[in-house]
Structure 1
Amino acid sequence: MVLIERISQDANLPQVRRLEAVSFRAWPAASVHYDGSWQIRLTGGYPSKRGNCVVALDRSDISDIRLRLEKAARKFESYGRPMIFRETPLAAPQIIESLKEDGWQRFEESLVMTLDLAALDGHDGMDHLPSHDIGRFVDASLTLHGEDPALKPGLAELIGNIKPPYGLFLKEVPGNGPVAAAICVQDNDLAGLLQLVVDGAHRGQGEGFEMTYAALRWARMRGARLAWLQVVASNTAGLALYRKLGFREAYRYCYWRPEAQ
């Protein structure tokens, strides 16, 4: 998919700030440093881009852009992580122009989508009770995502560091392993859906819909009123699923990396 030329700055900025804040709590980095309003997020044990990136949170904070990027790069180097900048509508245009001038490459555009949870009333679906067995969930998630089992300690630590209440949703077939998995994080009146994945052999059979519906219904019963999620723009199957449930785009973000990476 061709990336749009510039992340729109016409988004509802108060909503963007709130959703960015809850997403940070829902997917916590192991180490967070601030340089002015820039947040430098680093997670040595798990290579998530959301957990290893620089995020600018105030459009007016544009001083010493290149110097600050160099300082951040040294922190990434010390963690053994590639330098990544995450562009949201909160990033000043001057920062993005500096990245372009210095040859940074733009990649992986994603949508942040929201849903009024009252809309779930129009659907039927099975209930799945959340698990609290992090080890079992991590094993299933790594298998379904096709990730290295050696990442288990890092992902388990990340999930264990989530502060708001959360549910680990997992469907397995005895003798055949995991079918689908998702995390739902309830942060007051907001519910975040993360890490939804369905086994390739079971896609197109309603497993993703069932898992998503169950997780969001659980959050709504606990008092959540608005759901949010992040999905890569090229994930057409995921977008179709979320739109079927009633999710609508709130804003977009993308990543930048130095040309040499």
Structure 2
Amino acid sequence: MAITGADSLMLANSPHGDLPMVRRLEAVGFRAWPAASVVYDGSWQVRLTGGHPSKRLNCVVPLDPSDYHDADIRLEKARKKFAHYGRQLVIRETPLSPRPLIDRLDEAGWVCIETVSVMTADLAAIDFSETLAHLPTHDIGRFIDASLAVHGADPAIKPAMAEIVSAIKPTTGLFLMENPGEGPAAVTICVQDNDLAGIQDLAVAEERRGQGLGTEILAAALRWARISGARVAWLQVGETNKAAIALYQRFGFREAYQYHYWRKDETA
């Protein structure tokens, strides 16, 4: 039997990730959470979004392990571009990043400020028999208001969030749980990109945690993705978010690879 791209995602065992698998997950990740401005310096993707503070939307992502030439000059060029947006330069290190570049950052006083796990799960192996079905909403404004409320985020980023969600090109399901008069309780976004489905922005309101809502809304999104034709689900979660990781592991998610954010230590 031929091995599909989705099958290869499930077969990768390297702790650093299988590079073709990493490239594919990085590509779908960019499409699932698009930055407002994306330019390339060689194979380095420079991502900037003026109205939203997310590091995923405001970072430089080197995408070729051999592309390290003129690194100091390119870093300074990127620093100036980020400064124009009022942001400090952030480098996102994946298994595709040149090792000499990361060593250079370390030697120059940069620090790793966050580690994120990219996880995948086989949708065919998930049992949805005891979970409830929820249909996604098509009301982007209503969903964004709910997302901001659940996250406790600054309402000022609403226009940027609307731009991001509206710019997602693959088929997208916006999932929202709320009770009349009680406000939004949980949200998530599921982006189906051919046979892959990405879970984004999953959150439960602080006062509603511990009631199974995370399980319910994640199951609803994954069920929708499987019915829509996806075979493998993926997501990204900070390594310190133990509660979320435990939830994802119950659905069969396992780590495919990690990535790291680096920033210059301005106090050094």
**Fold in common (TM above 0.5):** yes
RMSD: 1.2
Deviation at 1:123, TM superposition (A): 4.9
CA offsets, 1:8-39, max 9 Å, x none? 87321110000000000000000111011000
Q: 1:11 aligns with which of 8, 14, 17?
A: 17
Structure 1 counterpart of 2:26: 20
Deviation at 1:81, TM superposition (A): 2.0
Structure 2 counterpart of 1:4: none
Q: 1:235 aligns with which of 214, 235, 241?
A: 241
Q: 1:120 aligns with which of 126, 151, 156?
A: 126
Deviation at 1:152, TM superposition (A): 0.5
Deviation at 1:44, TM superposition (A): 0.9
Q: 1:39 aligns with which of 33, 39, 45?
A: 45
Q: How does 1:38-117 map to 2 (within 5 A)?
A: 38-117=44-123
Q: Does 1:197 align with 2:203?
A: yes
Q: Does 1:142 align with 2:148?
A: yes
Quick one: distance in 2 between partners of 1:110 and 1:219?
A: 23
Structure 1: which 4+ aligned runs deviate by more than 6 Å? none
Letter in 2 for 1:75: K
Deviation at 1:258, TM superposition (A): 1.0
Structure 2 counterpart of 1:133: 139
Quick one: distance in 1 between partners of 2:93 and 2:129?
A: 35
Deviation at 1:257, TM superposition (A): 0.6
Q: Does 1:216 align with 2:222?
A: yes
Q: Which deviates the most, 219-228 or 74-83?
A: 74-83
Quick one: distance in 2 between partners of 1:241 and 1:123?
A: 17
Deviation at 1:122, TM superposition (A): 5.7
Letter in 2 for 1:244: R
Aligned to 2:158, what secondary structure does the other structure show? helix
CA offsets, 1:41-87, max 9 Å, x none? 01111111101000010101010111101101111111222211001
- Percent identical across equivalent pairs? 61
Aligned residues: 254
Q: 1:159 to 1:122 in 2, by over 3 A?
A: closer
Deviation at 1:183, TM superposition (A): 0.2
Quick one: distance in 1 between partners of 2:116 and 2:99?
A: 19
Structure 1 counterpart of 2:176: 170
TM-score normalised over the length of structure 2:
0.92
Q: What stretches of structure 2 of length at least 5 have no aligned partner? A: 1-13
Aligned to 2:170, what secondary structure does the other structure show? coil
Letter in 2 for 1:118: A
Quick one: distance in 2 between partners of 1:86 and 1:123?
A: 39
Letter in 2 for 1:38: W
Q: 1:135 to 1:122 in 2, by over 3 A?
A: closer
Q: Does 1:248 align with 2:260?
A: no
Deviation at 1:206, TM superposition (A): 0.9
